[in-house]
Amino acid sequence: MRISEKLSRSGNLDKKELVELLSSFDGKDLEIISEEAIERRKRFYGDRIFLRGLLEISNYCKNDCYYCGIRRSSTCVKRYRLDKEKIVSEALRAPSLGLGTVVLQGGEDPWYDDETLSWIIREIKGRAPEIAITLSLGERSKESYEKLFESGADRYLLRQESITRKHYRMLHPESQKIEDRVRCLMTLKEIGYQVGAGFMVGSPFQSDEDIANDILFIKHFGPHMVGIGPFIHAEGTPFEKMADGSLEKTLLILGVVRIMNPAVLLPATTALSALSPEGRDEGLKMGANVIMPNITPRKERKEYNLYEGKPDVKLEDEEHIKALVRHLEKLGYKVDGGRGDSLVG
Ligand code: 5AD
């Protein structure tokens, strides 16, 4: 029996099987996995796809991750930060755009202290209580995470990037530690956030064993959301000449993650569309059920480049989202404009 068939039947694989699948999969495996991933997604979420409005609030970052286009040492970046009133007014566009969640994402920018972020969150929630707020602002203290949760933040995205210590160290400077990352993830969960973990596929020096470790970490940690996209080289980084991750492998892994964690929310990430125009739709066929349209103001959006080739949408947000909804409906999905909470218990 193929390993992909075993995965489909049992919903689980051990490390050795994962490594074997990752190193030898073919088109038939992708078909088998796609079918089961869709089946399992259906069991929890039906045909619904959830949209999140992504607001990129700042491209300042105190970290120096080797892969990331907005790393501190990059001189190629025109830095910006949105002030708090601007963040609130942009976030409040979400309901009329048909988006039930806003994701406030940025580099690790200490300018946004707890007081500032709490004010922003309270203001958004006070004026549009129906919006779910997701934060994607990196590592912060337990006290900070607590304050932001009390202020009304619902969810937090923080990818582990690589659970394998040796590999994590090859992607980050010495001062950044996988232990800190994992501690943050556990703290966020304890506090009561819906938590998103995840990793890049095809990041430099990543082995199939590393990927297997990350897949197993996700299974063990039990996040509510999982962000997985291909690594894409970024100008001004030590990895700028490195090869991009593979679309097929990213798709395979999305399917495996859906089958092993059927109740998670799984975005078809922007990086997937950056790699191929069909990337996002292919992601949905592998069990993804979230899309995150960008709602950052134009001027700043073009400066928020984690990697090369971020899709440049010409349409206004409203038109873009309308076209996206029409496209998804044509593919047979139902677009859910609600909060889209995770069904992971
Ligand atoms: N390619 C793909 N994804 C990247 N990220 C950062 N840099 C890159 C890159 N060069 C991802 C990281 C981070 C998320 C916000 O974006 O995994 O967690």
For 218-241, what is each residue's pLDDT tens digit?
999 999 999 999 999 999 999 999
User: H or E stretch including 156?
Assistant: strand 155-157
Q: Name the pTM for this structure.
A: 0.98
238-270: per-residue pLDDT in tens?
A: 999 999 999 999 999 999 999 999 999 999 999
Checking if the pLDDT of 345 tops 90, the result is no
51 with 292: CB under 8 angstroms? yes
Neighbouring C-alpha atoms within 13 Å toward the C-beta of 148: 26
Q: How far apart are CA 70 and CA 88, in angstroms?
A: 23
Bridge partners of 230, per DSSP, are 201
Mutate to test the pocket of ligand 1, among 56, 59, 68 (most ligand atoms within 8 A of CB): 68
Mean pLDDT of 41-48: 98
CATH code of the domain made up of 11-335 = 3.20.20.70
- The CB-side HSE value for 58 (13 A sphere, CA atoms) comes to 21
Mutating to test ligand 1, I would choose from 306, 307, 308, 310 the residue with most ligand atoms within 8 A of its C-beta, which is 306
Owner of token pair 């949209």: 51
- Domain segments of the chain as ranges: 11-335
Q: Tell me the pLDDT of the chain averaged across its residues.
A: 97
71 lines ligand 1 (CB under 6 A): no
List residues bridging with 198 in a β-sheet: 227
Verify whether ligand 1 is closer than 6 Å to residue 307 (CB atom): yes
Contact present, 156 and 177 (Cβ < 8 Å): no
Cα 316 to chain centroid distance, Å, stands at: 23
Cβ of 292 closer than 6 Å to ligand 1, yes or no, is no
Tell me how crowded residue 342 is: count the other CB atoms within 10 A of its CB. 19
pLDDT at 312: 87
Using a 6 Å cutoff on CB, does residue 271 contact ligand 1?
Answer: yes
pLDDT at residue 44 greater than cutoff 90:
yes
Q: How far is the CA of 162 from the centre of ligand 1 (A)?
A: 12
